[in-house]
């Protein structure tokens, strides 16, 4: 029996440091070119969502994550203007790291007040949920 057509699987990584700042990228490509976003991207065939999260974080920011905690799964059919995607959002804590933009990121930076910036996709909701996850740890 052939596999059904399903949403594309993606991953988003919420990273915060010891100063409580959040790591954001500036998107290099559409959609939302130039806007802030969480590091992340599509899960490759044969790859777990956790491995994809680590890979995308490393490719886009140069930062390696160790332990990851599930924040949630985001599957609103309208979350990505390119089509229906389903994202597994994970949280990583990094004590100290200097990000370097790469791959799909035009820039990376630690942002103290992420609520004051416009975020791509549904990343503001993911960050709000990640804060709740963090508070419960």
In a domain, 2, yes or no: no
In a domain, 75, yes or no: yes
Average pLDDT of the chain is 94
Instruction: Provide the whole-model pTM.
Output: 0.93
In a domain, 34, yes or no: yes
In a domain, 3, yes or no: no
For the CA atoms of 37, 99, 137, 121, what is the dihedral angle to 10 degrees? Answer: 10
Q: What is d(CA 108, CA 13) in angstroms, rounded to the nearest whole number?
A: 13
CATH number of the domain enclosing 87: 3.90.79.10
- How many domains is the chain partitioned into structurally? 1
Per residue in 43-85, pLDDT tens? 999 999 999 999 999 999 999 998 999 999 999 999 999 999 9
- Structural domain boundaries enclosing 37: 8-135
Per residue in 12-30, pLDDT tens? 999 988 888 999 999 999 9
């Amino acid at each position: 029996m052939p596999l059904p057509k399903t949403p594309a699987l993606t991953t988003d990584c919420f990273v915060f440091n010891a100063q409580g700042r959040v790591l954001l990228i500036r998107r290099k490509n559409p959609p939302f070119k130039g806007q802030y976003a969480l590091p992340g991207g599509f899960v490759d065939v044969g790859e777990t969502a956790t491995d994809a999260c680590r890979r995308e974080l490393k490719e886009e920011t140069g930062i390696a994550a160790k332990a990851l905690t599930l924040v949630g799964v985001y599957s609103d059919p309208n979350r990505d203007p390119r089509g229906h995607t389903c994202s597994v959002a994970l949280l990583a804590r990094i004590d100290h790291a200097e990000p370097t933009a790469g791959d799909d990121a035009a820039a990376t930076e630690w942002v103290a007040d992420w609520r004051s910036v416009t975020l791509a996709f549904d990343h503001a909701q993911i960050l709000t949920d990640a804060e709740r996850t963090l508070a419960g740890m």
